[in-house]
Structure 1
């Protein structure tokens, strides 16, 4: 545990060519730098760091293309990387080779507000784009919890979503086209080489083949994104439930009433406890098994109406309610959900939150059953665990908390995570809804997809016969 795998040095010709492409300053070879590139946010890479042999920092499509051509010529593994906020080991080396850092390709190239789209480089941070769009009254809707850190290129690679996916969908719904460097080093543009249309059915949908492929089929160097108007206002209804099952019934009742919330988030009793520890003034009711946060958005009159309708529907199931359509008060109510990811670490003195088994998704009808079973699994292994997530589409995040000095806990949490993944499949769900496969969930791919996996592997072999791009990920050829 916590050991890196040493590799034989790269051919000096490769290093020399990389120096020509990137210069001395953007060619990194020191062991300190390699250790930095050995991790993402996953528990797996904390346990088993994976060092590349060299890292380069790209500033242009031309540099990326030349690097890929070199890697393909010498059959050197190449790993594209953005901000490394991923939680599945998707942006780390598994076979040594070259780490290609795209984080400094971070320019917003054009905001075409009249045509409701923007052209950006992959290293743009999600929140930075939305700050730039705000003066135009526009937004890029996908909103992962890491929006202040994650790159949009990384979001595209994993088809990320976030809190408001229940209404606005996921990243793939907002990609109109992209510039991609293929494993040969050739550069293509999907969605129409010169198109600014908001939709097209011309040709194969190559953009959506690349979205969610986690850098195994090509490297995105430019994106054309669809934008939407910002809502005028938002409203929040925060409610508590004595039982997990009542929370699930409330969600179904809201959908059946014809309401379309922009977000529906759940927090279990451990998360409620953690949030109250971090922010006592929020004073969430502690005698309940779950809290739901509903958000609606639109014109002010519409939001006021929806908030009132939500209240009437939910109060039949809930024990406590708070609701508002005033911006400052909404932000206070929304704080509880925003704090959870960090707060769960407080559940165990001296513990830390493990990012593993954190991204399963099940049918909404089986959500209460799944929540209960996760707690049973955690209790079985003696692990403190908070559960929260996007109940509106069945996506939940587990937050086990362990002490790294306790070897039994470190072993048991890995067993717990395995059972959680198996539970998701048993509940007719998936092991990942927005964080991706990487190396962490690769072993479940054949079970989830069956014969379709052979089609995926055939596509990989066709586009990348030398298997240079992000090998060892997604149960594709290693």
Structure 2
């Protein structure tokens, strides 16, 4: 239900001012447009879409600033939005108000290859940036599965990671500074107003306060990103395991040996089955409970050495092992992993893949028992479920598959999602490692963070006393 006080403030005077700021063609109030902006990729918004009252398409920092000033004056909620590939309801309305679409702010402003950094607008798609960096032999390392769709502004807002976080870290490790519109409409630049340095310890680290704040503390309109060289060579080791627990034990053994793969990905038996259903030509072992894909990178000699060591470490646990450093074959193996999210729905005739409980992270030492526990939870509720993800840093994605017209499955899958989140905390982990909190994980925040939530709420109240920026998200005030 929309907040009637907020709705009453969004009158003709406000709409007229928005048209002055953005132009009439970039201010939308029609029902079809509002429905379009009422979803992201989450199960939550598919069940409960949330419409704003007006959507605007921003093209500049000045427009965003003027819009936020207007919203703050009238105490109208504002929701920043990029590609809406998020899975937590983080980019939808909770109280009507104004949706600011930043997806058209998508310029790569500068590639400063000599200083190993780039300046971009938030609507740049991750893969588009990396394609632009290739001629310079550089890359922006965070590599989410949605790289062909997600915007970097959304990645920064959620502190996203991806396939190679185990070696290269997450988004926050590559943000040097940003231009931000605060809840008052004031514009600041973090990391030094004119700086092009690759590091600084000057002043409070405001950028890292804003990274992962999910649009609740400010709206990022320009980003200064650190870049790394492209690796010379990559090698892939694919191995299968008769039991899930052996896969978890193999990951522990690899790290204990001193090896540092650039990626370690897991696919359980349901995921490999689904991939083969979608792409039968992909060569994957099926007589196992889990498959691990290890990637190592660096100079060719270094890759060869790491692969030989890795084989010796995992051989006691695996029943099948294959290696390749041929780019085409490596790409095919990665394609198998990248198809999982789209293919798991095939596991059940007429199946619908639910994005919920899909982002937990547990300590490496507790991987084996967590992998088994998730399958036990799925069996408890009679839900078909695949497990996959970035197991090298303990980050696992679960893919429950249900029939939407089956009321019992619709009820049970939500119970299953609750159990998976609670399992993560029980295992000394977290309910989200890269997708964010948004609406869907807000109810676990106090359980996970305790008294630290009081500090988070105090920061929110200080920077946004009128609570206009993305209200109701992250268990912050509504």
Which whole-Å CA distance do the structure 2 matches of 1:408 and 1:19 have between them? 47
CA-CA distance at 1:5 after TM superposition: 5.3
- Report the equivalent of 1:332: 332
CA-CA distance at 1:252 after TM superposition: 1.4
Which whole-Å CA distance do the structure 2 matches of 1:248 and 1:369 have between them? 8
Asked if 1:120 corresponds to 2:120, the answer is yes
4+ residue runs of structure 1 moved beyond 4 angstroms? Answer: 4-7
- Secondary structure in 2 aligned to 1:281? coil
* Cα contact 1:182–1:219 (8 A) shared by 2: yes
The superposition leaves residues 204-251 of structure 1 with CA deviations (integer Å, 9 ceiling, x where unpaired) of: 000000000000000000000000000011100000001111111211
- Report the equivalent of 2:452: 452
- Report the equivalent of 1:14: 14
* Cα contact 2:167–2:260 (8 A) shared by 1: yes
Between 139-148 and 365-374, report the one with greater CA deviation: 365-374
CA-CA distance at 1:261 after TM superposition: 0.3
Asked if 1:359 corresponds to 2:329, the answer is no
- Report the equivalent of 2:222: 222
CA-CA distance at 1:315 after TM superposition: 1.5
Asked if 1:92 corresponds to 2:92, the answer is yes
Which whole-Å CA distance do the structure 1 matches of 2:253 and 2:444 have between them? 33
Which whole-Å CA distance do the structure 2 matches of 1:427 and 1:205 have between them? 31
Which whole-Å CA distance do the structure 1 matches of 2:233 and 2:326 have between them? 8
Alignment of 1:50-199 (within 5 A): 50-199=50-199
The superposition leaves residues 11-69 of structure 1 with CA deviations (integer Å, 9 ceiling, x where unpaired) of: 21111110100111000010000000000000000000000000000000000000000
CA-CA distance at 1:283 after TM superposition: 3.5
Asked if 1:263 corresponds to 2:258, the answer is no
The superposition leaves residues 322-361 of structure 1 with CA deviations (integer Å, 9 ceiling, x where unpaired) of: 1011111211222221111111111001011000110000
Which whole-Å CA distance do the structure 1 matches of 2:333 and 2:19 have between them? 52
Which whole-Å CA distance do the structure 2 matches of 1:235 and 1:417 have between them? 35
* Cα contact 2:181–2:218 (8 A) shared by 1: yes
Residue segments in structure 1 that go unaligned for 5+ positions in a row: none
Alignment of 1:323-402 (within 5 A): 323-402=323-402
* Cα contact 1:307–1:325 (8 A) shared by 2: no
Alignment of 1:247-286 (within 5 A): 247-286=247-286
Normalised by the length of structure 2, the TM-score is: 0.98
- Secondary structure in 1 aligned to 2:16? helix
Which whole-Å CA distance do the structure 2 matches of 1:301 and 1:324 have between them? 14
* Cα contact 1:83–1:103 (8 A) shared by 2: yes
Which whole-Å CA distance do the structure 2 matches of 1:60 and 1:287 have between them? 54
CA-CA distance at 1:6 after TM superposition: 8.6
* Cα contact 2:249–2:368 (8 A) shared by 1: no
Between 434-443 and 316-325, report the one with greater CA deviation: 316-325
Between 331-340 and 383-392, report the one with greater CA deviation: 331-340
- Report the equivalent of 2:236: 236
Which whole-Å CA distance do the structure 2 matches of 1:176 and 1:110 have between them? 14
- Secondary structure in 2 aligned to 1:474? coil
* Cα contact 2:264–2:391 (8 A) shared by 1: yes
Aligned length: 475
Which whole-Å CA distance do the structure 2 matches of 1:454 and 1:251 have between them? 36
CA-CA distance at 1:317 after TM superposition: 1.1
Residue segments in structure 2 that go unaligned for 5+ positions in a row: none
* Cα contact 2:108–2:121 (8 A) shared by 1: yes
CA-CA distance at 1:307 after TM superposition: 1.6
Asked if 1:437 corresponds to 2:442, the answer is no
* Cα contact 1:307–1:324 (8 A) shared by 2: no
The superposition leaves residues 423-454 of structure 1 with CA deviations (integer Å, 9 ceiling, x where unpaired) of: 11111111000000000000111111111100
The superposition leaves residues 92-142 of structure 1 with CA deviations (integer Å, 9 ceiling, x where unpaired) of: 000000000000000000000000000000000000000000000000000
